[in-house]
Amino acid sequence: MKIGILVSSKRKRIWPAEELKKTALSMGYKAVILDPAELTIIIRGKLIDVIHNRTRRSLIEGDSVFLLRRPDYANPELLFYRIDVIRALELSGKTVINRIEAFLKAVDKIRTSMLLAKNGIPTPYTVVSEEEAPAMRAHIEFGKSVVKPIFGSQGKGSVLIENIDSAWRVFRLHRYYRVPIYVQSFVEHRNRDIRVFVLGERVLSAMYRVSNSWKTNISQGARPMPMKLTNELEEIALKSAEIIGADIAGVDIIESKEGPMVLEVNACPEWKGLQKVTKVNISEEIIRYVISKARR
């Protein structure tokens, strides 16, 4: 069985991809990191194929499974092309984890918020608009708000707004660049949240992320702390991943006065911080899962 790890690798070495490759090789599987930018789709008659440009080999032939990490993109056409590369693999009968549809649901914060709310998962009060006035009314109602990029991760680009003047400047800037305003009620959380790592139909592990500021991302300096999930939190995390359709998911939960709330579901979660506070070998569990899934 060969494992293809799909990730944009034009940047520096990407830890999750390198870790998965190293682990797969140590477990006796062939593994290779594939950049979607180096793949070509062939459509001829009823045939759909995906070719690696450098080796000119088909990715459809042989016994293989693919792990999807987040593909980078510079413009909408590149984004849609790289999405279609993954779709081509799926249409050709290959197992891709996570499936591209799960990735598309999770990467879009608006869609994630709507799906979670529609299915009864508690989430923060959220307003999204292209105009300043509705966003300003929401901020005034919230008192404190967080403005987030619709597409983004690791807390990058998220801004805490505590007064009307700041809100007005941020909202006007969004309008100037013709970017929708995703404004969310700020939920007090004592600079701590919970990251739950879901694999298939089980919770693999979980941690507290403790920070000196309101942003609790490990990449923003938060510290991982061990924790034991309650049955309620485990159920919320599993249901959230199921709603998105993700086999692998990082579910972010905050403990508010009203009870637990899900902030986001990440379909390409990292686990470097989590691995420091758990005895579970996360990389090995991921490889075992994808091999098992491909053989079903």
- What confidence tens digit (pLDDT) does each residue in 258-273 have? 999 999 999 999 999 9
Q: Take residue 233 and report the two structure tokens written for it.
A: 């939190």
Q: What is the CATH number of the domain that holds 132?
A: 3.30.1490.20
For residue 256, give Cα distances in angstroms to 30, 100, 171, 261, 263: 45, 32, 26, 7, 11
Q: Cα(66)–Cα(86) distance, rounded to whole angstroms?
A: 9
Examine the domain organization and report whether 218 and 270 are in the same domain. yes
- CB atoms under 10 Å from CB of 127, counted, come to 18
Examine the domain organization and report whether 7 and 58 are in the same domain. yes
Report the SS3 class of residue 176. Answer: helix
Examine the domain organization and report whether 110 and 154 are in the same domain. no
Final residue of a domain: which of 169, 185, 201?
Answer: 185
Question: Which tens digits make up the pLDDT trace of 156-201?
Answer: 678 899 999 999 999 999 988 899 999 999 998 888 899 999 999 9
For residue 128, give Cα distances in angstroms to 111, 134, 171, 174, 195: 11, 8, 11, 12, 25
How confident is the prediction for the chain on average, in pLDDT? Answer: 91
Judge contact between 98 and 105, C-beta under 8 A: no
Domain range for 204: 105-121+189-295
Q: What is the CATH number of the domain that holds 20?
A: 3.40.50.20
In 3D, which of 173, 144, 154 has the Cα closest to residue 219? 154
Examine the domain organization and report whether 53 and 139 are in the same domain. no
Phi-psi group of 120: left, alpha or beta (phi > 0 → left; psi -120 to 50 → alpha; rest → beta):
left
Q: Cα(36)–Cα(72) distance, rounded to whole angstroms?
A: 9
Q: Cα(290)–Cα(25) distance, rounded to whole angstroms?
A: 14
Examine the domain organization and report whether 201 and 110 are in the same domain. yes
Examine the domain organization and report whether 154 and 226 are in the same domain. no
Cis peptide before 98 (omega within 30 of 0): yes
Question: Which tens digits make up the pLDDT trace of 206-233?
Answer: 999 998 777 767 766 789 999 999 999 9
Examine the domain organization and report whether 252 and 162 are in the same domain. no
**Section 41-62 average pLDDT:** 93
- Helix (H) or strand (E) run with residue 183 in it: strand 181-185
pLDDT at 151: 80
State the total domains in the chain. Answer: 3
Final residue of a domain: which of 160, 185, 210?
Answer: 185
Judge contact between 206 and 196, C-beta under 8 A: yes
Query: One-letter amino acid identity for 262?
Result: V
- Helix (H) or strand (E) run with residue 77 in it: helix 76-91
Q: Give the predicted TM-score (pTM) of the model.
A: 0.92
Examine the domain organization and report whether 150 and 197 are in the same domain. no
CA 262, 210, 11, 60 dihedral sign is: negative
Examine the domain organization and report whether 179 and 195 are in the same domain. no
pLDDT at 106: 94
Examine the domain organization and report whether 148 and 272 are in the same domain. no
| Residue in the structure block whose two tokens are 């070509």 | 40
pLDDT at 72: 65
Checking DSSP bridges between strand 2-6 and strand 39-44, what pairing results, if any? unpaired
Q: What is the CATH number of the domain that holds 275?
A: 3.30.470.20
Examine the domain organization and report whether 231 and 109 are in the same domain. yes
Examine the domain organization and report whether 164 and 222 are in the same domain. no
pLDDT at 77: 82
